[in-house]
Structure 1
Amino acid sequence: MPPHLIVINADREYVPGAADPNGRFYARAVITRLDGRPVYKNFVMYQIEEGAKFDELQDALGDAEVRARTAINDGFPDF
């Protein structure tokens, strides 16, 4: 497997009218190559869009990691 770097960013959804902190967590990921070459076709990064929402931050981060590793293993499928 080529050397990849996975960067995961999590956020909390905003629930209008609810006291802070509010909402559940969701995460997205960006995959790049450590050597700077294109990851997929001529793209230097491959983005994994936000996924399901979770009550716990760690669950959202784990979900994004699994989806990113699946994309790598599947050869970066078109969505």
Structure 2
Amino acid sequence: MRNRVLTAVALAATVAVGAYAGYKIATDDELRGRLLRGAQDIVDTSKKKMDVMTEDVAMRTAQMTKNPKINQDWVNHQWENVGF
């Protein structure tokens, strides 16, 4: 019985915190802007790392993460560097 009560309280707290966070993000323009800038910084950092990545590193990273998009992005970046 005690475990069920604790589970219910934890569930209610989780829902309340999630609802508050969603409300805050939806209504606070400054917070939303900071979150978007942070996400954009992460993307920019990733693109900068792609600039210095060698083909071998791109291949190994794609194999380890099982993400072929890494190779595709690297190849596209190389074509952009030569003007295509």
Q: What is the TM-score when the length of structure 1 is the normalising length?
A: 0.27
Whose helix proportion is higher, 1 or 2?
2
Whose strand proportion is higher, 1 or 2?
1
Q: What is the TM-score when the length of structure 2 is the normalising length?
A: 0.26
